Amino acid sequence: MSIMPYNVRGLGNKETVRALKDVAFKFKPRIIFLSETKKKKRYLEKIRMKMTMSGSFYVDPVGIAGGLALWLSNEANISVLNFGKSFIDIKVSINGEEKWNNNSEKWCLIGDSNIAERPEEKLGGLPFDASSAKWYYDFTYASCLLKISSKGGTFTWSNQRREVEAILENWIKF
């Protein structure tokens, strides 16, 4: 089972769409989860149709913020249990075999938490929020989630600005 989560920061950019297609072609995931699409279903369907994904579920953005897309290969079937502007809760089966759901046996959380664990993992912007970090850590610990380590630079997110306006963070990934 392969899933490709991708915070696309908007799919209005041709380079972003090309990068998405390249990664999907290389890894051939059965499920693609896109966050921060900033686009509505009609636009996203045009991109999905050009790829090998046969099914979809969308949460449209609010204004120009947010937006979620879930694309499926023909081997994956989902039942949407619940959704909101920042989440999609699904039950997944591959070739008729249940893989994940919201019960205590198998559970997978994929997303964009936007929370740094420690003050040294944040540079610029608003001050580090210790109460949010503790709440999220307690939640993930109680849920027995495993942290996925990252490779590369110190920070996993940037607001893509320079100097005084720059914000860099190393967000919790599970």
pTM: 0.76
Give the whole-angstrom CA distance, residue 38 versus residue 40.
7
Q: Is 153 exposed, middle or buried (0-12, 13-18, 19+ CB in 10 A)?
A: exposed
Burial class (CB in 10 A: 0-12, 13-18, 19+), 27: exposed
* Domains in the chain: ranges and CATH: 1-102 (3.60.10.10), 113-174 (no CATH)
Whole-number CA gyration radius for the chain: 17
Q: Tell me what pLDDT residue 121 has.
A: 83
Average pLDDT of adjacent 10-residue blocks, the chain of 174 residues: 81 88 90 92 93 92 91 89 91 71 64 77 88 87 74 72 83 51
| Residue 65 in tokens | 């913020």
- At 174 the pLDDT is 44
Q: Which two tokens stand for residue 40?
A: 């509505």
Other CB atoms within a 10 A radius of the CB of residue 170 amount to 18
Supply φ then ψ for residue 121, to 5 degrees: -95, 15
| Lookup: tokens for 81 | 């249990």
d(CA 5, CA 31): 8
Give the pLDDT of residue 65. Answer: 87
